[in-house]
Structure 1
Amino acid sequence: ESLLVSADDLVSFYVDAAWENNENVNGTRILSAARQLTLIEKLTKEAVCLGFSNITGAWISGTVAEYETMKEYLLNGFTGSERKYDIKAADEETILAQMAIVSSAWDALKPLIASIANEEDGWSDSHHLKDVVWASDQLLKAMDIAV
């Protein structure tokens, strides 16, 4: 988790510097899209580690909520605490088309993750784990193109 915080801090410096050079730069959108990649990886790790260490279903559900909130911001826009942190609603055809692919991949992964979050003591089926890893990989590939 601390690595995510450090990465977010570092990228925030980028957004600030980019804004100083050009107020039209979509730095926060880029940061948010890249953060989605990190959240997908985090979610997969949490799902795999459920039942080992301190990972709980509630923790996984929190990561799901964070991912979905950011996905909503990327599609529909967001007004930040300062104008440089605003996210413009997606209106470019190429972005909308790729985000439709991302949404489809998320729709395949989310129910797998939800069922795992209900298994507090770990995995009941190794095939289910393979499905999660495969679906996560598909989502990562789709989101990587979107970034």
Structure 2
Amino acid sequence: MQVRLHHQTVNPQAYQTMRKLEEFVKSTGLDPILYELIKIRASQLNGCSFCLDMHTKDIRRMGESEQRVNLISVWREVPLFTDKEKAVLELTEAVTRIGDGGVSDALYAKVREHFSETAFIALIMAINTINCWNRIAISFGMFPGCYDAGAKRSESAE
């Protein structure tokens, strides 16, 4: 496999813009585990192997159990997630698949049971940020390990 291009070096300003979004989300006080759950679920839905690999490793380093990590994709079917986490995962799915019906009033109310208006905005920004990262990684052909020594880069795009 080959990465189509290294966006960080080809257009550092675009990369820094994405980093600023990431920094903004982290500055909102959103629980880091919730943020990783958002990143993993969106990456699963979008089919982003690069981001999925990265964020499952990150959440494990934060102390998350293998069982919960392995079952994020079926969160509705297991008793391992809190009502708050379930609301966030459902919101992540709705925003990631926005064209399938958007965010219903019922879902908005469910999420607002656990989050203030300000925190709701932080969630939306977190979901949008990982969706942007997914689209970047997929568009540029990124895959797990693509930046490791020996991973090839296509030079034809330059």
Q: Normalised by the size of structure 1, how large is the TM-score?
A: 0.30
Q: Normalised by the size of structure 2, how large is the TM-score?
A: 0.28
Q: Please identify which structure carries the higher helix content.
A: 1
The higher relative CO (CA closer than 8 Å, separation ≥ 6) is in: 2
